[in-house]
Structure 1
């Protein structure tokens, strides 16, 4: 089985990817390949950051790679938090503070439309491909549910009466932004499998 690095140490992302790509690859994290560097995400869009991470891992460690960058875009906040989603409140990865800041910034605002967006970059045998996934929804006025991660407790996808955090992985994955991007990636891999 071919080995591929998922350019993250976020075990939630690894778990999601293993569930969705199970059997196609042996998936390794950055830690697994000995990458301890903090790869600087300096682009101003998800596509650019995803490519930066994938190219860094491929060139530095010589291993095929899947990298993604994703975030939340809120219409009433001119697309914030966007590429700053993970560090919206300052400290990287503090989900509670990020959600608190978002809810505070939306206090009294009626238009709560938002979307989660993911861009996944694959570098396989030196060849680069990108896949985008988006899910539209609303930011609700308080946190609900204890599943998922990130902004899942405050994001309710359109057509559903529950937040991502109230859904099981089996319910969330097919409709999530990452799920949609990974489905495109999986389709590409199955079409191009050796």
Structure 2
């Protein structure tokens, strides 16, 4: 059976990808890093989301050359902070410390208003397979950085990312609401549209 390895151990992310791919009725065995016997070291030292994604897929391809491999990289960028946190989003103020990361963004934007608080969530997805050019897509959501954390569904920068069309922060959205408009959801939508033609290459 054809295997797809998703370069994550996040069960929620794997489920979201599985649900997106289900629209194509692919007979694939979908695995996460948790299902693998050997997981190579992946050093994410790229300067862009796309570079980091490619590092993930190519590292796994060395060990699993016959499988399809998908990876994503996501983050928050704030123009007024010269694109920070960017590729350092997960470790902006410490290793995966969401509270500290949010506090650092809020502190750096203290006293700033209006357009200076504009921000964007970005996801870049890459899918590779033997003999094929990488399929790379991205998804974006524009928002505004709040002055304090708002919302109970705390994940990453969600409590400080205000989404104007719904007049809520991402942390005030249900999982279903967020999936409909999220940057990863938008990237997955593009991937699903492009996948049938890519597979025929």
With the length of structure 2 as denominator, give the TM-score of the two structures. 0.87
Q: Find 2:33's aligned residue among 21, 26, 30.
A: 30
Partner of 1:150: 156
Q: What SS is found at the alignment partner of 2:165?
A: coil
Partner of 1:4: 4
Is the 1:12–1:149 Cα contact (8 Å) retained in structure 2? no
Q: CA RMSD for the aligned pairs?
A: 1.9
Between the aligned partners of 1:126 and 1:96, the Cα distance in structure 2 is: 43
Is the 2:135–2:198 Cα contact (8 Å) retained in structure 1? no
Shift of 1:159: 1.8
Is the 2:6–2:32 Cα contact (8 Å) retained in structure 1? yes
Is the 2:5–2:30 Cα contact (8 Å) retained in structure 1? yes
Is the 1:133–1:179 Cα contact (8 Å) retained in structure 2? yes
Partner of 1:88: 92
Number of paired residues? 193
Which segment drifts farther, 50-59 or 28-37?
28-37
More helix by share: 2
Runs of at least 5 residues in structure 2 that lack an aligned partner in the other structure: none
Partner of 2:100: 97
Between the aligned partners of 1:143 and 1:65, the Cα distance in structure 2 is: 36
Is the 2:39–2:60 Cα contact (8 Å) retained in structure 1? no
Q: What SS is found at the alignment partner of 2:35?
A: coil
Q: 1:83 to 1:115 in 2, by over 3 A?
A: same
Q: What SS is found at the alignment partner of 2:89?
A: helix
Which segment drifts farther, 49-58 or 33-42?
33-42
Shift of 1:168: 1.9
Mapping 1:1-194, distance limit 5 Å: 2-22=2-22, 24=26, 25-62=28-65, 63-91=67-95, 93-110=96-113, 111-127=116-132, 128-147=134-153, 149-192=155-198
Q: What SS is found at the alignment partner of 1:68?
A: strand
